[in-house]
Amino acid sequence: MPEQKHWPKTANLFALSSANKNLSEFPFEVLPLYETLRIGVVVAEWNIAVTGALLKGAVDFLKQSGVKENNIIVSYVPGSFELTLGAKLLTDRNDIHGVIVLGCVIQGETRHFDFICDAVANGITQVNLASNKPVSFGVLTTNNQEQAMDRAGGKHGNKGMEAAATTLKMIALKNQLGSL
């Protein structure tokens, strides 16, 4: 079992995140609650080199935090647009406590990028609110493949890991407030 680490206080979180723009350096936290959690992960197959790296970051973080590997349910959808329904299907399950959404939309020459990004962001927000379960947004929206790889385990960390951390923190908050 890795050495237990604790998250910085909230005030320090904002200072750290604005200082280096890389939240992947945050230490993980092991709580007894995490051993009993079932976490859904929905992953877009489009641009699998990027989304696969995001998935690895998310799963590794969950396991280091104490979530049992057999309690991590990974589902694949064709592309980022389908992430919303994938997240909804996972949140509809009574045994799922939170969902991580992983995708990658790279700017092209048309407005397609704008429509997909807007639809996915709004859709995930709606699933989050309707399900009353944490649904974390781990969808990269970049100008090119290099920027995407930089955020999928490269020089800007792994945003899949950050989405996993967000899900666990929101589940802990829900538990703290007595609604889990």
Give the Å distances, CA to CA, from 91 to 36, 43, 70, 101, 147: 17, 14, 17, 11, 30
**Catalytic residue (one of 6, 97, 112, 156):** 112
Q: Output the DSSP codes for 50-68.
A: HHHHHHHHHHHHHHHTT--
Q: Could you give the CA distance from residue 174 to residue 53 in angstroms, rounded to a whole number?
A: 28
User: Active-site residue 112, yes or no?
Assistant: yes
Give the β-pairing of 98-106 and 72-77: unpaired
Catalytic residues: 112
